[in-house]
Amino acid sequence: MAHSLGIGVVAGLVSALLIGVIVKATPLALILYLLAPLPILIVALGWSHRAGLVAAATGTLALCLAASPLRGLAFLVSTALPAWWLGYLSLLGRPAPNGGPGLEWYPVGRLLAWVAVTAAVALLLVVMLSSGDHAAYEERIRRIARAVLQIQFQAVQEAGQPPGAALPPESDLARLADRLAGIAPGIMAVTFTLLLSFYLWAAGRIVHLSGRLPRPWPDIPATAMPRRVLWGLALAGLLTLAPGYAGTFGVGLLGALSAALALQGLAAVHDRSRGRPGRTPLLIGLYVLIVLTQGLAFAALSLFGLIDALLGLRRRTAEAPTP
């Protein structure tokens, strides 16, 4: 017990150090910064959720003392608690039904749904911490959106367009910035959901290869969220109409669930293609298409994941191959 808690302390310090290197403002520092949740997830999966909680508390305290209380709190809600929570859920198990052997582990589909909800909640908390007042947040995000649009228009000009041809009128630029600011929480939630999914998969693989993962490695292509997650999608759509932070959370939750549905759609393609001729070229082509088309392929996968959740397009149990 004491050994696992000591591992948790070390993991928390490593995670805080990875967060701290962002001040270097180099590409390597950014990569290390993005890997900050991994030590907490690894220790939560490989030792215990208590060790993961110790890691989260240690990293938060270290950043509070070395940087500022606000930075430590931001680390807690954006990195430490999400990593610990997902590690805790991953190791939930109960006796197999009907007195069967072994344990029934927490389903990967439900875990994916929790990844999306966790990403949306963490995003909202970070926004509230960084801005306080919602009006201040809106003004800040508009300035960022306007700067992004101006950079894009300048890039178009430098690509050979006539001077001034790519620059819209001031009113149109303001309107575009408002629209971009409105969907910004959804874009950020999509990114955070994909990152959390990657962190969970990477940490699980590392711990599994080390032989410390208590649960067997799941059949990832069989991942399917419970159908009631669609009620969450409807709730998110309604919340987008609400003012203030409720609307911001609705946009973020809509983006996070869309990302989760895209991952389910991708899993469904892997699942339905198992044992089919030409599976490898098909999957390679799909991933190339995702990279080249970006948003279009993401939207198509989200729609496919939505249809899969509604209709259940997976193989029947008798058809499914052994993981």
pLDDT tens column, 73-125:
999 999 999 999 999 999 998 887 776 677 889 999 999 999 999 999 999 99
pLDDT of residue 99: 66
Which parts of the chain sit beneath pLDDT 50?
165, 316-320, 323
Q: Where are the beta strands (DSSP E) in the chain?
A: 93-95, 103-105
pLDDT of residue 152: 72
Domain ranges of the chain: 1-91, 100-269
- CA torsion, points 289, 149, 187, 254, in degrees to nearest 10? -110
Q: Other C-beta atoms within 10 Å of 47: how many?
A: 23
Q: What are phi and psi of 165, to 5 degrees?
A: -70, -30
pLDDT of residue 2: 66
Cut 0.85: pTM above it: yes
SS3 content of the chain, % helix, strand, coil (to 5): 75, 0, 20
Q: In this structure, what token pair is assigned to residue 134?
A: 């919602």
Reported as a single tens digit per residue, the pLDDT across 210-251 is 999 999 999 999 999 999 999 999 999 999 999 999 999 999
Q: Do the beta carbons of residue 84 and residue 52 sit within 8 Å?
A: yes
pLDDT of residue 276: 87
